[in-house]
Amino acid sequence: MRMIVTGGAGFIGSHVAETLLNAGHEVLILDNFSTGKKTNLPEGISFLEVDICRDDLNKIFLDFKPEAVCHLAAQIDVRKSILDPAYDAYVNIVGAAKLLEACKEAKVKKVIYSSSAAVYGEPQFLPVSEEHQIRPLSAYGISKHTVEHYLVVYKELYGIDYSILRYGNVYGPRQDPLGEAGVVAIFTDKVLKDEIPTIYGDGKQTRDFVFVKDIARANLLAAETKGSQLVNIATGVETSVNDVFNLLCQMAGKDHLKANYLPERSGEIRRMVMTKEKAKVEIGFAYKYSFAEGIKETLAYYKD
């Protein structure tokens, strides 16, 4: 199948593109390299340095004629989204609207969209299922959810199928440890450098951590599944920040390291774990990497 991957030079997108390529699909990456890196691009892959907010996206789509699109290009920094909601909305909402228009013009059959647990906000019950109320706590959560509505409308109006994949906390090789990155990338970087990481609060806050190669496989399965779906992509396993730190220290042979505990940051969700059953039924996805296996691969990558 001919496929476009937006954000394919980024952390998750590069794994998605690689997985699609290995499965025999013909892949074109579109990325403006705002956070993505050329070094992340799978070897020999076709790519165009393009901003998805550009007006001539249609031409690129009409030239390549993709059957499906994995849309990952986004502004992903939650804190930035709160400080500059207009920028977040421009990239995440306007960018997606332009992309969908290009999909319509080029008669794309399916869009696989990277959504997030951020759409749910503070969990009212655990594990959080797809039926949980939507009450995002950031502009990022709002923008990720808004695009879900566009996808449903484009299905109704133009018959373009969608897979809305709501990910838990994704971690693994190529995640940038700088800035507002995921906790695994930050801790891995610190632990390997023998530096002391900071934990905000008591470290008992939990998340549903999903290894990036599982996320990439979920995109492949969604692309190869007919019809439209909305599913969580999660493990259903609740892991605390303390667990992350302890496992990393243990596996890296750095048991002597102690974290620096600072007061809890406001607005942080206490517990998060998501259901995984609907993804199994609708796209045949079940996670393969336990947290320990994923951490092992992540450590090996950062050691190199």
Ligand X SMILES: NC(=O)c1ccc[n+]([C@@H]2O[C@H](COP(=O)([O-])OP(=O)(O)OC[C@H]3O[C@@H](n4cnc5c(N)ncnc54)[C@H](O)[C@@H]3O)[C@@H](O)[C@H]2O)c1
Residues in touch with ligand X (CB under 6 A): 6-7, 9-13, 30-36, 51-53, 72-74, 76, 91, 95, 114, 116, 144, 167, 169-170, 182
Report the nearest approach of ligand X to the CB of residue 182 (Å).
6
Nearer to ligand X, 236 or 257 (CB): 236
The smaller minimum CB distance to ligand X, of residues 25 and 144, is found at: 144
Q: What is the smallest separation between the CB atom of 200 and ligand X, expressed in angstroms?
A: 18
The count of other CB atoms within 10 Å of the CB of residue 284 is 13
Cβ at position 53, least distance to ligand X in Å: 5
Q: Which is nearer to ligand X, 9 or 252 (CB)?
A: 9
Q: Which helix (H) or strand (E) holds 63?
A: helix 57-64
In angstroms, the CA 201 to CA 183 distance is: 14
Q: For residues 164 and 115, is the Cβ–Cβ distance under 8 A?
A: yes
Min. distance of Cβ 60 from ligand X in angstroms?
A: 11
* 153 residue type, one letter: V
Euclidean distance between CA atoms 141 and 121, whole angstroms? 8
- Checking DSSP bridges between strand 206-207 and strand 239-240, what pairing results, if any? antiparallel
What single-letter amino acid sits at 241?
Answer: V
Cβ proximity to ligand X: between 77 and 161 the closer is: 77
Shortest distance in whole angstroms from residue 258 CB to ligand X: 26
Q: For this structure, is 261 an active site residue?
A: no
Which of 140, 154, 171, 289 is labelled catalytic?
A: 140
Q: Report in angstroms how near the CB of residue 91 gets to ligand X at its nearest.
A: 5
Q: Are 264 and 200 in contact (CB under 8 A)?
A: yes
In whole angstroms, give the CA distance from residue 198 to residue 256: 15
5-142-235 Cα angle (round to 5): 65
**SS3 of residue 239 by DSSP:** strand
Rounded to a whole number, what is the largest CA-CA distance in the chain?
Answer: 59
Question: Which residue intervals of the chain are DSSP H helices?
Answer: 11-22, 57-64, 78-83, 85-89, 95-105, 139-158, 183-192, 212-223, 241-251, 277-283, 291-303
Residue 6 or residue 239: which is nearer to ligand X going by CB? Answer: 6
CA 69 to chain centroid: 15
Q: Report residue 152 CA to chain centroid gap.
A: 20
Please, which residue, 257 or 297, has the CB nearer to ligand X? 297
User: Which residues belong to the active site?
Assistant: 140
